[in-house]
Amino acid sequence: MSEPQFIKVRYKLTDQIAREGGMTAGMATERAARELSAEEEKARQAVRVTIGKLETLCREKTASMDAVYDLSTEVLDVAGLYDDRPLSEAAYALCELADRLRTQGRTDWSSVNVCTEAMKVIWATTTPTGGQIKSVLEGLWALVDYIKMPEREEPEA
Amino acid sequence: MSGFGLPPDIRMNLERSVVLLVDDNPQALDLLAAMFRGFGVHRQVKSTSAADAQNVVKSRELDLIIIDTSMPGMSGYDFVRWLRREAPADARFTPAIMLTGHAARATVESSRDCGANFILAKPFTPEVLLQRIYWVAKDERQIVSCDSYVGPDRRFKNMGPPLGKKGRRKDDLSGKVGLAKEPNMVQDEIDMLMRPSRVNL
């Protein structure tokens, strides 16, 4: 194995952010939040379309778990940029479920459907109470954890 | 604001920075671009694939790369690994922040060793992303280059080499441990330190 080299670098970014002008961090984050708000309706519709695609997969039951995983990451990608924690967590649970299933070479459309419906409910709920959402998310994680459990051995007849 | 937050009165100027945004999800890419417009970044380059991003790196001078980890074909991890090892020399150490949604089992090892400056888990707020950009700009870590890893030194604090090992860095402290200056802790004290406790986040 070769000796590690340690290289001193100075990023251009370091000099740029220190230049005169610019704005305060508070102002920048407020402006970014405003820009995101302007895109919110379009983003919500995109999430709804993706959830619709997942619903179709659940009805047809022919797709691979890779396809489920890809669609659930799409929801997480968008919800995550809005810091929408309940929807992100539900999408994360579906990612985890699909990842566990594909790792074991299995499919379980009932579980995928439960996660998809939960995402739909969370997406549509404009004023959720903390308790309701918490219960839904706990239920999803219980479902995901169930997939991790090893197969029970059937007792010999 | 939390203790680790970015003080809101800190001034930052990103007007002249050229930022490459890479995400295969066009909606997420538009949202990232909106966020960076808010930060005052006028010069943005958007790519929907790592392969396209490679071409951008070869043809333009960039100040920062924001890239999604999970993409079809070449992943964000593979892109950053390519950037650190095979990109044109003047672009090789361009700071890169990775955005990750879910870490699939197959990618866990890649994420550890790819050489990104920071990996930011979704969901996050614009404030947290801006904080990471600020950290990158203030990052004084050296780049480590060896067979298995090229990227910022992952040791944020130089604690010296592991016990009994000779240090490999010039500024590594001696690994020799002197005599204890305080009595050993009793088991109850150790148990108290290890005891799980509830925290409010």
Q: What is the ipTM of this complex?
A: 0.85
Confidence of residue B122 (pLDDT cuts 50, 70, 90): confident
Quick check: B27 and A46 CB within 8 A? yes
Q: What is the DSSP string of chain A?
A: -PPPEEE----HHHHHHTSS--EEHHHHHHHHHHHHHHHHHHHHHHHHHHHHHHHHHHHH--S-HHHHHHHHHHHHHHHHHTT-HHHHHHHHHHHHHHHHHHHTT---HHHHHHHHHHHHHHHH-SS--HHHHHHHHHHHHHHHHHHHSPPPPPPP-
C-beta neighbour count of A85 within 10 angstroms: 14
Q: At what angle do helices B26-38 and A65-81 cross, to 10 degrees?
A: 20
Residue B157 C-alpha from the chain's centroid? 15
Identify each DSSP E strand in chain B by its residue range: 11-12, 18-22, 43-47, 64-68, 96-100, 118-121, 143-145, 150-152
The first and second tokens of residue B41, run together, are: 């970044």
- Give the mean pLDDT of A113-134: 85
What's the CATH code, domain A43-147?
A: 1.20.120
Quick check: A78 and B168 CB within 8 A? no
Closest to A78 (Cβ–Cβ): which among B27, B139, B146? B27
Q: What is the pLDDT of residue A39?
A: 95
What's the CATH code, domain B18-152?
A: 3.40.50.2300
Q: Report domain extents, chain A.
A: 43-147
Kindly report the nearest CA distance between residue A157 and chain B, in angstroms: 37
Question: Which chain A residues touch B138 with a CB distance below 8 Å?
Answer: 14
Confidence of residue B2 (pLDDT cuts 50, 70, 90): very low
* Residue (of B10, B99, B76, B93) closest to A83 by Cα position: B99
Q: What is the pLDDT of residues B133-186, one digit of tens each?
A: 999 999 888 999 998 899 998 876 666 666 666 666 666 666 566 777 777 788
Q: What is the pLDDT of residue B64?
A: 98
Which of A147 and A22 is assigned the larger pLDDT? A22
Q: Which residues make Cβ contacts (< 8 Å) with residue B157, sequence separation at least 6?
A: none
Question: How much of chain B, in percent, has pLDDT values that exceed 90?
Answer: 55
Mean pLDDT score of chain A, rounded to an integer?
A: 89
Confidence of residue B192 (pLDDT cuts 50, 70, 90): confident
Quick check: B122 and A17 CB within 8 A? no
Q: What is the pLDDT of residues A57-84, one digit of tens each?
A: 999 999 999 999 999 999 999 999 998 8
Question: Which chain B residues touch A25 with a CB distance below 8 Å?
Answer: 6-12, 127, 130-131, 134
Residues B85/B60, Cβ–Cβ less than 8 Å: no
Q: Which residues make Cβ contacts (< 8 Å) with residue A108, sequence separation at least 6?
A: A97, A101, A147
> In the beta sheet, which residues pair with residue B46?
B21
Residue A18 has pLDDT above 60, yes or no: yes
> In the beta sheet, which residues pair with residue A24?
B11
Question: How much of chain B, in percent, has pLDDT values that exceed 70?
Answer: 83
- Residue B53, helix vs strand vs coil: helix
Query: What are the angstrom distances between the C-alpha of B107 and each of A13, B75, B170?
Result: 29, 9, 34
Mean pLDDT score of chain B, rounded to an integer?
A: 86
Closest to B123 (Cβ–Cβ): which among A46, A74, A88? A88
Residue A128 C-alpha from the chain's centroid? 19
Question: Which chain A residues touch B12 with a CB distance below 8 Å?
Answer: 17, 22-25, 28
> In the beta sheet, which residues pair with residue B18?
B43
Residues A142/A97, Cβ–Cβ less than 8 Å: no
Nearest 5°: the CA angle A130, A139, B108 is 100
- Residue B18, helix vs strand vs coil: strand
Cβ neighbourhood burial of B121 (10 Å; 0-12, 13-18, 19+): middle
Confidence of residue A156 (pLDDT cuts 50, 70, 90): low
Kindly report the nearest CA distance between residue A71 and chain B, in angstroms: 10
Minimum mean pLDDT range among A37-46, B33-42, B137-146, B156-165: B156-165
Q: Which residues make Cβ contacts (< 8 Å) with residue A56, sequence separation at least 6?
A: none
In angstroms, the CA B130 to CA A120 distance is 31
- Give the mean pLDDT of B13-41: 96
Q: Report domain extents, chain B.
A: 18-152
Residue with the two structure tokens 């810091």: A83
In angstroms, the CA B174 to CA B162 distance is 10
pTM value is 0.81
